[in-house]
A and B are shown apart, each in its own frame.
Chain A
Amino acid sequence: IMCASAKYNTRGPALIPRMKTKHRIYYITLFSIVLLGLIATGMFQFWPHSIESSSDWTVEKRSVHDVPVVKLPADSPIPERGDLSCRMHTCFDVYRCGFNPKNKIKVYIYSLKKYVDEYGTSVSNTISREYNELLTAISDSEFYTDDVNRACLFVPSIDVLNQNALRIKETAQALAQLSRWDRGTNHLLFNMLPGGPPDYNTALDVPRDRALLAGGGFSTWTYRQGYDVSIPVYSPLSAEVDLPEKGPGPRRYFILSSQMALHPEYRSELEALQAENGESVLILDKCTNLSDGVPPVRKCCHKNQVFDYPQVLQESTFCVVLRGARLGQAVLSDVLQAGCVPVIIADSYILPFSEVLDWKRASVVIPEEKMPEMYSILRSVPQRQIEEMQRQARWFWEAYFRSMKAIALATLQIINDRIYPYAAISYEEWNDPPAVKWSSVSNPLFLPLIPPQSQGFTAIVLTYDRVESLFRVITEVSKVPSLSKLLVVWNNQNKNPPEDSLWPKIRVPLKVVRTAENKLSNRFFPYDEIETEAVLAIDDDIIMLTSDELQFGYEVWREFPDRLVGYPGRLHLWDHEMNKWKYESEWTNEVSMVLTGAAFYHKYFNYLYTYKMPGDIKNWVDAHMNCEDIAMNFLVANVTGKSVIKVTPRKKFKCPECTAIDGLSLDQTHMVERSECINKFASVFGTMPLKVVEHRADPVLYKDDFPEKLKSFPNIGSL
């Protein structure tokens, strides 16, 4: 925009002298420009309407049979066969995907056409219900773009889900004439039933050149690792039958085989297993004497006993999924849905989404040759693990098998992860069922590191105007050997901090940071001035801590760098009468929090407090001018899953100057407020993350009968 007008302006002055002499030309030009402008404005007015009218086909109801017909000449080009050496870096054009801040690929779908050969016979069924669902899912997802020029991935609307339903050569020709085909580069085909008799290839036989294949039933020889995507064979039963998740616990059968079309060799092996182990093994077969009207796929039989399928799968701990003519079996989906642990017996099979899913957590894979040992192998799986696998199996079905939409989105996400690997979804996100995601903790400081002592710690003193007491704190803290820097956070906007010359002279750098607002959260801001990992938060009235106590606190923090290490401990309790949490500061045998009036913690938690505190906790704290320490305790416990460490016997921060005139009433309101904070935070976190422990840390020789002068931290012990 800017460029266009600028150009015109620069040309303007050059035109002026010439036009002065040619008034008529000037008026004509003026007139024509105005006219042009009018036309432009007019067009502009009508333009959006014209787009809308043409785009109305989204709203417009049409039949799949009304789509344009494309005739394929017999000699139209056929793509090369699939190139087995294709990998993302050789066959995929990443330049089309570009760098975008959202790290999302853009997927374009070709519009639906009907392909016929020279004689007008159609090449395939126009589109199957499943493929239509799949394309709808892509179209509704955030991957979708309708702009073919911005697309990174192209999905043809030619349905190749089932190879049996299409004419191979003509389908290939249809692919080749797609507008952006370009040897199949960046094209994605979905296929679930590949191959045909007699040899049943494990990948789609349609020549497809460089196109990526999302296939159900790849073998390790046809699967191009890191290029193709292995997908499940969708089971339409998923949509028909609602099987509620079955809880853990023993099931009637141990091993169940529900597949109808088993090779006689397999069937005899299974029958041998059954003969050996009796009732706990159930092998189902087709029913021979079903009354009319019952869909045969919903019943199966053992001898004369009739079972409902797929409900019967829920009665078994393990369900056998054997290969048939093809490797991929729709029964896998049914088995997972039933929360039955699949026993996969299909050598060389690439399991669905194996690039991201950890099948070892949801299934047992047994080599075909080991089939006779199946029973003993499965018996060796611990019961608790079986229950976990059942839960995992169900979760895989819910997340990745349940619908064509789930299958489509998982496929696109896998490709997306390859193109933007640094933004890829993690193993945990792919594999952990919601229950585990909810209950598990992944500690951001997971590496067991004991930070070097030499690093020291940074003391942060939050102060408002108590200069005298502040100076005393500074003097006291500066005696701690491992102090490496002192940071004073000046929280008073109305008053300037004392002049430089007035500050106590200490051996480490002292910095004063002035804040913009008097907020409690300022104490937990990750100031750039903090150069050490360890932070000692200390109030401007904590003058009673000895140098030994502080130094010991730092040493303890070094051994537990991912925890809050503090002095007086506090406890949360469940108040059965009031049915809510209560704050407790009495002499208890347990602690779940430490006060941050003086506490060591990792600087990382400052960062978390400032930027990642859930909900409105930060605002609550600033509004109430209270409970910042409880918030910090919640945050750390929630992110690490670990308890605090209380050090030394100290129970209170009592300042000698304070007199007890405030008395009980203040104390009580204080307690009520603190309890309120706990309840508020627990509801924001959705859980009570605090951990209760019964221990505190003392120096190894604390109170031992040993010469005090030989102890590292003799001056510890007051309450």
Chain B
Amino acid sequence: MQTWKKYIFLTFLASWLLLFFFGGDQLRHFAFFSRRKAEARRNWPHWTDQSLLKSFADPEELQSDGDISLLSPQERRAAWLSVYKNSRCRMETCFDFSRCKKNGFKVFTYPQEKDQPLSESYSKILTSIERSRYYTPNPKEACLFILSIDTLDRDHLSGQYVRNVDKKIHGFPLWNGGRNHLIFNLYSGTWPNYTEDLGFDIGQAILAKASFYTENFRPGFDISIPLFSKDHPQRGGERGWLYQDSIPPKKKYLLVFKGKRYLTGIGSGTRNALHHIHNGKDIVSLTTCKHGKDWEKHKDTRCDKDNIDYEKFDYQELLHNSTFCIIPRGRRLGSFRFLEALQAACIPVLLSDGWELPFAEAIDWGKAAVVGNERLLLQIPSTVRCIHPERVLAFQQQTQFLWDAYFSSVDKIVHTTLEIIKDRLLPHHSRSRFLWNTLPGGLLALPDFSTYLGDFPFYYLQHGSSPSEKFTAFIRATSPAGSPSQSILRLIQATSGSQYCAQILVLWSCEKPLPPSGKWPQTTVPLTIIQGRGKLSDRFFPYAAIQTDAVLSLDEHTSLSTSEVDFAFMVWRSFPERIVGFPSRSHFWDPEQRRWGYTSKWTNELSIVLTAAAFYHRYPAREKFGGTVGLAAFSPSPRSLPRYYHNLFTEYLPVGLRELVDGLAACEDILMNVLVAAVTKLPPIKVTQRKQHKETVPQQVGCKDGDVGTPPVGELSPSPLHSPPAKVKGMAGMAGGQRFSQQQDCLNQLVDWFGYMPLVSSQLRLDPVLFKDQVSILRKKYPRLEKP
């Protein structure tokens, strides 16, 4: 027994010693040794003579900067032109800026040749360009050229491969070595290497290509576009699938992938490894070996089981129910699943090394996707698990914003491409990354309007500023008399009584001459009378005179009190990006006629606020302005300042619709509301108003041709449904039914053009806090709102 004890003692002793001996190193990390360890860190030494060290360059050297006389800037630039060509193209060497000087950024598409087959996607691209506000049919004024040859699919095994492109393009007199050309491509190269060779010489042309590899990408020159399918909608596009912001993300799966596993060839490295991270619970990574004709030749031991598992899950189901989606490279770097995941709010986890991400020049992908590393595939599960729920929420919302702003239709993809190029032409008038990556996005925040964030209605909170504390009242006078009517005088009185009113502008939209200045009332704020052109959408001219952010748009026949104006303005300051107004209308889906209806009946909902009495930010006013000036281009007007030519509205609306809007009185309200709703995705705001408006129909007789004025406020109109669709122009005293039919036409045409119904309904109205409460009227700030 004694020896036993000895043995045990010995064993313990030995193990203790060994423990100390080998484990000492680790032990020192803890407790009493840690202090010493910290001291022991070998830092960069403090030299005794470090104050005597010489500077890396003496000041004169920094100031004189070499021998400058050697290099003449002009000669250098001329030399660049010959050196930096083709694969080393940059805007300053391969793009002829002078072409864009005179007419601005105009895009010309080559006429289509009859025998030239066009793929569905390419004809959509061409249509998008023709729908763009930059389109020109005249090559002489063009700055950018687009080929009519379909270059989307350059896989020469594909049926859509166009042969002899080289020969064709060199025959074009406009080709000019590809200068100022933009070439679109979705697929390049073929089995087995899928090189990025297009099979023809693009020369100095800008390449907008899907699956761009960084090494071939000419930074600041080429553009990486997303891969989209031929079913991608021309315009509008489906909305994203995120309907709720839940935290923590309440999805069934954390991370999913379902796709092909390449057994050999390019891209197989990553695809072959994906099954390793499958855990069957919250991470589902399914691969199938079945692809191509001879997959069985390369089949390995996993294939049969994998193929069975693969069939058990539905791709769409996974997409909808996962927080993260793996987007590995395929044979090429980009894949359809990238846009699919983006739409599904499934945060893309990119495993595609060297992929120049779509529109990376503008879009900050770090806010919407996890850019993984193919080599670190096995770390992906722990990486995504470590991402904080708040960040996941932000990621999800950003995917939806990006999808909706830049990717949901071919129009958006093409227009984004064009805007990026346009931004390069005038770097000092281009969008900052902030504008591109913040709602409502670069296509809706026009740098032509301003590059200052505080000028837009969207950024007050992020920018830490607030809208201006005054507004400009803008009254349109349409009365036929030679002197201002009683109602307009009352209106001027009421608005000028508001402490927030900075100035009043009266637009004299009559063909009768302006009343002499003595006929206008004396006001405390400046009153300016402008002679209008008599066009309906004159109202939305952002006359340079408007200095405030807020505009109160009024019609001569509107009747408002100072209280109402004050209160509405206070509300607008809380919602500067929306239309805030008094009388409202609503839209509805008419299942019988299978079209959208419009009603002025009193309903429990509203989606349109009439611009006859509404506050809005002058930014949307300018949006609309572009439209009217677009028209003015056909009938030149002295007021059309070149600065306002490029505008959102022009881009959004084709000529036909613009004419409709200009011809139809009732359309302007709808258009304004549709436009603002398309930008904000939010309903307008109705504020309370006294209910004793005179229900007089504005008398338009004799003022001018065209149907001006809005329906009387608060009108209970006949049902719009029974009136025949008539489009009568220039008739005085038009029947209400015709008006409604016009409004309905207008609404439906706008919806058709947008590709979806942008209007959003609201069930509320904003009233003063003590509105109609049983409390002394003296306590109330807006007592006049309640007077019967």
Does B769 lie within 8 Å of A700, measured CB to CB?
no
Does B70 lie within 8 Å of A198, measured CB to CB?
yes
Within 8 A of B (CB), among A662-679: none
Does A360 lie within 8 Å of B432, measured CB to CB?
yes
Minimum distance in angstroms from B400 CB to a CB of chain A: 6
> Of B42, B73, B683, which contacts A58 at CB under 8 A?
B42
Hey, which chain B residues are within 8 Å of A441, CB to CB?
461-462, 464
Does B682 lie within 8 Å of A448, measured CB to CB?
yes
Task: Please judge, given known A-B contacts A326-B66, A421-B366, whether A64 and B47 are in contact too, CB under 8 Å.
Answer: yes
Write out, one digit per residue, whether chain B residues 743-766 have a CB within 8 A of any chain A CB (1) or not (0): 000000000000000001011111
Write out, one digit per residue, whether chain B residues 528-563 have a CB within 8 A of any chain A CB (1) or not (0): 000000000000000000000000000000000000
Q: How long is the Cα–Cα vector from A57 to B771 in the complex, in angstroms? A: 78
Hey, which chain A residues are within 8 Å of B774, CB to CB?
719
> Of B13, B92, B250, which contacts A37 at CB under 8 A?
B13
Q: How long is the Cα–Cα vector from A398 to B627 in the complex, in angstroms? A: 45
Identify the closest chain A residue to B371 (Cβ).
A421
Does B28 lie within 8 Å of A48, measured CB to CB?
yes
Q: How long is the Cα–Cα vector from A197 to B419 in the complex, in angstroms? A: 40
Q: How long is the Cα–Cα vector from A382 to B13 in the complex, in angstroms? A: 82
> Of A58, A101, A198, A591, which contacts B67 at CB under 8 A?
A198
Task: Please judge, given known A-B contacts A260-B63, A439-B464, whether A360 and B433 are in contact too, CB under 8 Å.
Answer: yes
Band of interface residues on B? 35 or more
Does A695 lie within 8 Å of B768, measured CB to CB?
yes
Does A261 lie within 8 Å of B428, measured CB to CB?
no
Q: How long is the Cα–Cα vector from A427 to B386 in the complex, in angstroms? A: 21
Q: How long is the Cα–Cα vector from A358 to B361 in the complex, in angstroms? A: 12
Does A8 lie within 8 Å of B15, measured CB to CB?
yes
Hey, which chain A residues are within 8 Å of B46, CB to CB?
58, 61, 136
Does B66 lie within 8 Å of A200, measured CB to CB?
yes
Q: How long is the Cα–Cα vector from A695 to B767 in the complex, in angstroms? A: 5
Minimum distance in angstroms from A516 CB to a CB of chain B: 21
Q: How long is the Cα–Cα vector from A198 to B56 in the complex, in angstroms? A: 21
Does B434 lie within 8 Å of A358, measured CB to CB?
yes
Write out, one digit per residue, whether chain B residues 66-82 have a CB within 8 A of any chain A CB (1) or not (0): 11111111100100100
> Of A33, A262, A424, A588, which contacts B10 at CB under 8 A?
A33
* B382 in the interface (beta carbon within 8 A): yes
Within 8 A of B (CB), among A498-550: 526, 531, 533
* B574 in the interface (beta carbon within 8 A): yes
Minimum distance in angstroms from B115 CB to a CB of chain A: 41
Minimum distance in angstroms from B402 CB to a CB of chain A: 11
Identify the closest chain A residue to B570 (Cβ).
A694
Q: How long is the Cα–Cα vector from A326 to B741 in the complex, in angstroms? A: 68
Q: How long is the Cα–Cα vector from A653 to B219 in the complex, in angstroms? A: 63
Within 8 A of A (CB), among B575-589: 584
Hey, which chain B residues are within 8 Å of A360, CB to CB?
427, 430-433, 451
Does B763 lie within 8 Å of A700, measured CB to CB?
yes
Minimum distance in angstroms from A350 CB to a CB of chain B: 9
Task: Please judge, given known A-B contacts A348-B92, A449-B243, A695-B766, whether A40 and B43 are in contact too, CB under 8 Å.
Answer: no
Identify the closest chain A residue to B9 (Cβ).
A30
Most buried by B among A16, A264, A427: A427
- Which of B17-25, B163-171, B194-202, B699-707 is the contact stretch? B17-25
Within 8 A of B (CB), among A274-325: 295-297, 323-325
> Of A36, A233, A263, which contacts B71 at CB under 8 A?
A263
Does B764 lie within 8 Å of A559, measured CB to CB?
yes
Task: Please judge, given known A-B contacts A89-B373, A164-B61, A587-B773, whether A602 and B760 are in contact too, CB under 8 Å.
Answer: no
Does A9 lie within 8 Å of B570, measured CB to CB?
no
Minimum distance in angstroms from A386 CB to a CB of chain B: 9
Q: How long is the Cα–Cα vector from A393 to B653 in the complex, in angstroms? A: 39
Q: How long is the Cα–Cα vector from A253 to B277 in the complex, in angstroms? A: 63
Q: How long is the Cα–Cα vector from A640 to B17 in the complex, in angstroms? A: 61
Does A5 lie within 8 Å of B41, measured CB to CB?
no
Q: How long is the Cα–Cα vector from A85 to B248 in the complex, in angstroms? A: 42
Hey, which chain B residues are within 8 Å of A245, CB to CB?
none
Does B245 lie within 8 Å of A712, measured CB to CB?
no
Hey, which chain B residues are within 8 Å of A51, CB to CB?
36, 40
* A621 in the interface (beta carbon within 8 A): no
Q: How long is the Cα–Cα vector from A347 to B91 in the complex, in angstroms? A: 10
Identify the closest chain B residue to A131 (Cβ).
B56
Hey, which chain A residues are within 8 Å of B379, CB to CB?
99
* A1 in the interface (beta carbon within 8 A): yes
**Can you list 16 A-B contacts (CB < 8 A)?**
A33-B13, A37-B17, A62-B45, A64-B49, A109-B44, A164-B61, A236-B55, A261-B64, A422-B370, A422-B371, A422-B383, A447-B401, A450-B760, A607-B248, A699-B763, A701-B602
- Known contacts A436-B464, A695-B687, A696-B767; 17 additional CB pairs below 8 A are A37-B17, A40-B21, A55-B39, A58-B43, A62-B48, A95-B375, A260-B63, A360-B427, A451-B244, A589-B782, A694-B571, A695-B571, A696-B766, A696-B768, A696-B771, A700-B605, A712-B763
In the A-B complex, the 5 residue pairs with the closest CB atoms: A439-B464, A325-B66, A139-B44, A324-B65, A89-B353
